[in-house]
Amino acid sequence: MGVLVTTTINGDTVEFACDPHESLLDVLRNRLGLSGAKEGCGTGDCGSCSVQVDGRVVCSCLVLGVEAEGREIETVEGLSTGTELHPLQTKFLEHAALQCGVCTPGFLMAAKALLEKNPDPTEEEIRFGLAGNLCRCTGYDKIVRAVQDAAKVMRG
């Protein structure tokens, strides 16, 4: 029943066996102990499970675990380098861009993808770029500011 899958997660080669119907989210959380991605809806409507697959941000609840074969996957757990936080992480903390924090891993991954494509986005571009990530606590104000500030840092 199980399918063997070899993939790369946060730079490490990872092998796992999963049932073909299992989502990548379930594999990450239940089989690989990577519980940073959260399940808020399971239907691609909230973005809490966002990860990158081959450089593109996806909802891991809408990807099968078996599709990960040979792909490069990045999760929130791989965002910092050693003890050094990614500028987005630093700015989310500094701007208090999180309250309950459950949407934060998804926002960080979506914001990273956004800034990789568009290093100097306008407020509107940030807002539309993050429209797939629901936050119920902050009203998004501080999230947008954190992304603006992180973009500035990343542009150097």
Partner 1 sequence: MQYEAPETTKAAVGLLAKAKGSAYVLAGGSDLLVRMKGGFVEPDLVVDIKRIKAMREIKKTASGFTIGAAVSCAEMNENKALIKAWPGVVEAAGLIGSKQVQSRCTVAGNLCNSSPAADSVPALVAAGAKAVIQGPKGKRKVAVEDVPVGPGKNSLKKGELIEAIELPARKGKSGDAYLRFIPRSEMDIAVVSAGVSLTLGDKGVIKDARVSLGAVAPTVLLVKAAAKAIIGTKLDEAALEKLGQAASAACKPIDDKRGTIEFRTKVAAVLAKRAAQIAYKRAGGK
Partner 2 sequence: MASESTTAHPFEDAPNHVTPTVVHDPILTKTDFKSVGTRPLRPDGLDKVTGRARYGADFNLPGQLVGLVLRSPHAHAKIKKIDTSKAEKLAGVKAVITAADLPDHTAGDQSMYDILENCMARGIAKYDGHAVAAVAAVDAPTARAALKLIKVDYEILPHVTDVDEAVKPNAPLVNPKMFTEGVEPKPKKASNIAKRTEFGHGDVDAGFKDADVIVERSFRTEQTHQGYIEPHACVASVSPDGTGELWVCTQGHFVYRNHCAMLLGMEVSKLRVTSSEIGGGFGGKTHVWAEPVALALSRKANRPVKLTMSRDEVFRASGPTSATSIDVRIGAKKDGTIVAADATLRFSGGPYYGMWAELGAMTAFACYDLKNVRTVGYEVLVNRPKTAAYRAPSAPMAAFAVESVVDELAHKIGMNEVDFRIKNAAKQGTRASYGPVYGPIGIGATLEAAKKHPHMKAPLGKNQGRGMACGFWFNFGGQTCTDINVGPDGSVTLTVGTVDVGGSRASLALCVAEELGVPYEQVKCIVADTGTLGHNDMTDGSRGTFSSSMAGIFAARNAITVLRERAAKMWEISVEDVKWEDGHAKAVGSKYGNLAPLSLKEIAAAAGNTGGPVAGHSEIVADGAGVSFATHIADVEVDPETGRSKIVRYTVIQDAGKAVHPTYVEGQYQGGAAQGIGWALNEEYIYGKNGRLQNPGFLDYRIPVCSDLPMIDTQILEIPNPNHPYGVRGVGETSIVPPLAAIANAMSNAFGVRMTHVPMSPPRVLKALEAAQKG
d(CA 34, CA 77) in angstroms, rounded, equals 7
Question: For partner 2, which residue of 9, 115, 126, 151 counts as binding (CB under 8 A)?
Answer: 126
Please report whether residue 153 would count as binding partner 2 according to CB under 8 A: no
Tell which positions 11-70 bind partner 1, by CB under 8 A. Answer: 19-21, 23, 42-45, 47, 50, 53, 56-59, 61-64, 66-67, 69
User: Binding mask 69-108 vs partner 1 (x if CB under 8 A, - otherwise)?
Assistant: x---------------------------------------
Q: Which C-beta is closer to partner 1: that of 1 or that of 82? A: 1
Q: What is the torsion angle, in degrees rounded to the nearest 10, for the CA atoms of residue 62, residue 154, residue 104 and residue 128?
A: -60
Q: How far is the CB of 6 from partner 2 (least distance, A)?
A: 23
Alpha carbon distances (Å) from 34 to 9, 24, 28, 63, 131: 10, 11, 5, 16, 24
3-state secondary structure the chain: CCEEEEEEECCEEEEEEECCCCEHHHHHHHHCCCCCCCCCCCCCCCCCCEEEECCEEEEHHHCEHHHHCCCEEECHHHCCECCECCHHHHHHHHCCCCCCCCCHHHHHHHHHHHHHHCCCCCHHHHHHHCCCCCCCCCCCHHHHHHHHHHHHHHHC
114 binds, among partner 1, partner 2, none (CB under 5 to 8 A by kind): partner 1
Please report whether residue 41 would count as binding partner 2 according to CB under 8 A: yes
Please report whether residue 35 would count as binding partner 2 according to CB under 8 A: yes
Instruction: Catalog residues that contact partner 2 under the rule CB under 8 A.
Output: 19, 21, 29, 34-43, 45-46, 48, 75-77, 79-80, 85, 89, 92-96, 98-105, 108, 123-124, 126-128, 130-145
Instruction: Catalog residues that contact partner 1 under the rule CB under 8 A.
Output: 3, 19-21, 23, 42-45, 47, 50, 53, 56-59, 61-64, 66-67, 69, 110, 113-114, 128-129, 131-133
